[in-house]
Amino acid sequence: MPRRNQWARAAIDRVPARWLATGATGVFLAVTAAFGGLASVPEPPLPEIGPGETFTGAELAMTPIRVTVAEELEYSGLIADAGVDERVLTLIMDVTNLSDVPRRAESDGSASEVRIEGFPDVAPAIARLEDENFAVAWLQPNVPTQIALSWLVSADDVADLTEVRVVLHTATEYVGSSVMHGRYWDDVTVAGFADLPVEELPPAEDQS
Amino acid sequence: MMKKALPWVATVVLLIGAWFVQLITPSDDVAAEPFLVAASIGSEAVGREIVVTVLEVRAASTVTSSSGWSAEGTWLLVDLNAETVTADRLLQGATLTIDGLEFRASERMDSIFSTKLVPGIPRTGTIAFELPDASLTGTGILHLSLGDDTRLDSVIELTIPLDELTTSAEESVHVTEWATS
């Protein structure tokens, strides 16, 4: 040990060990306070979009177009029960699958997770109305697809409905390893909203 | 000097050796990879349980089917004869991979996709793929199999040079029927 450092060693030896703990605690508290203390950071509000605007979540670009209420909507996949006075609440939405594999619109984490606020938390029936055939809808990568998401609701709940809030989601993709095989989506969370006016469709016999 | 350097040299050699071993170690999926059967247009490709002859590959901007359905877009149509080897099976695996994007045969119209194949007597029909605009460049890899889970099964593979296709205004999805030739 060179002689010129001996004064430093002697000085450190004179500092009581207790001071170190106190000093370290003080520094920690000062740094914590400088970053806003232990209060949680306020979460930024979720994005809100209007009709025709696009929200991206769960690798889907979702563009809600319009919301309709009808006594009956052909090819929607749902048949309202006249006896209990039901209506078909439908969201027309453009969806583009941004991942690199095809995804079923009805699968977990896909378009089936979209909801209308204030209505039961159930998955919609999904159809491509332009094909005039209710069938399983697959979203091919990068191919924009217009789908209709429909829910059966009670007529009372939609009687005076002028605007609805569409709840859009995000999710995380997992790749199965040992037991699971393939890719799947999970951890679905609400990530955005779209406010849309509600259009009342005339009864089926008037449509042509 | 030698004694001091030896552990260092040994460490470096072992580290590089470990890196190479890690490089050439096959992934877990390799043990279950499908068996690829290369196909070419006009000749029969025989897999474990599926036999396919691709007849023609077409591209179109409007596709129609016999039921009256039609749709615009960018479409690639594959005409083929297909049969199974031992038992009735559905043709449920049909993907087209272009530039890292995997497309699945369209379910939007009636086609030979998802229909039943039988042993020995080929069915003929069309499989349609709906693609993004301007995606018909480069190379497309067509995979055909009975199930969409292709692990340890045979998969018919056809390489399609997409630049050589001419896109017609309208093409139709052939009615699925017994092959006559």
Asked whether the beta carbons of residue B71 and residue A131 sit closer than 8 angstroms, the reply is: yes
Which regions of chain A does DSSP assign to beta strands (E)? 48-49, 55-57, 60-70, 86-97, 103-104, 115-116, 125-127, 138-139, 145-154, 163-175, 183-200
The secondary structure of A63-104, three-state, reads EEEEEEEECCCCCCCCCCCHHHCEEEEEEEEEEEECCCCCEE
CATH class of the region A48-206: mainly beta
* Alpha carbons B115 and A36: distance in angstroms, whole number: 64
Q: Do B132 and A142 touch (CB under 8 A)?
A: yes
Q: How far is A102 from chain B (nearest CA, A)?
A: 6
Residue B113 inside a domain? The answer is yes
Residue B89 belongs to a domain? yes
The answer to whether the Cβ–Cβ distance between B103 and A136 falls below 8 Å is no
Q: Are A169 and A185 in contact (CB under 8 A)?
A: no
Give residue-wise pLDDT tens across range B79-103.
999 999 999 999 999 999 999 999 9
User: At CB < 8 A and 24+ separation, what contacts does A1-8 make?
Assistant: none
Looking at per-residue pLDDT, the higher value among A193 and A19 belongs to A193
pLDDT category at B31 given cuts 50, 70, 90 is confident
CA distance A155 to chain B (A): 32
Containing domain of residue B162, as a range? 29-178
Long-range CB pairs of B145-148, under 8 A, 24+ apart, other chains included: B145/B34, B145/B47, B145/B50, B145/B92, B145/B93, B145/B94, B146/B49, B146/B50, B146/B84, B146/B89, B146/B90, B146/B91, B146/B92, B146/B93, B146/B117, B147/B92, B147/B93, B148/B92, B148/B93, B148/B104
Cβ contacts below 8 Å, chain A against chain B, sum to 43
Quote the pLDDT of residue A119.
Answer: 94
- Predicted structure pTM score: 0.84
Q: Extract the tokens encoding A21.
A: 């703990």
Please provide the DSSP assignment of B112-173 as one string.
STT-EE-BSS-EEEEEEEEE-TT---SEEEEEEESSS--TTSEEEEEEEEGGG--EES-EEE
Whether residues B103 and A130 touch (CB distance < 8 A) is answered with no
- State whether A142 and B101 contact (CB < 8 Å): yes
Nearest by CB to B104, which of A140, A177, A181?
Answer: A140
Of B63, B58, B37, B33, residue with least CA distance to B144: B37
Burial B48-60 (b: 16+ CB within 10 A, else e): bbbbbbbbebbbb
* Structure token digits, residue B104: 């699945």
Domain ranges of chain A: 3-34, 48-206
In-domain check, residue B21: no
Residue B102: its H or E element: strand B101-104
Contacts (Cβ under 8 Å, ≥6 apart) of B142: B54, B78, B94, B95, B96, B156, B157, B158, B159, B160
pLDDT at res. A148:
95
Is position B71 within any domain? yes
**CATH code of residue B113:** 2.60.40.1240
Question: Does the residue B61 lie in any domain?
Answer: yes
Res B69: pLDDT = 93
Average pLDDT, chain B: 94
Tokens of residue B172, six digits: 């139709």
Please report where in the chains the tokens 């003929």 appear, as a residue. B124
Instruction: Give the count of domains, chain B.
Output: 1
Tell me what percent of the residues of chain B surpass a pLDDT of 90: 92
C-alpha distances in Å from residue A17, one per residue of A27, A89, B23, B61, B77 = 16, 71, 51, 81, 80
Judged by CB atoms closer than 8 Å, whether chains meet at A135 and B108 is answered as: yes
Task: State which residue of chain B sits closest to A129, comparing Cα positions.
Answer: B108
pLDDT score at A207: 47
Task: Determine the length of chain B.
Answer: 181
**B65 domain-assigned:** yes
ipTM of the predicted structure?
A: 0.87
Note the pLDDT tens digit of each residue in A73-87.
888 888 887 778 899
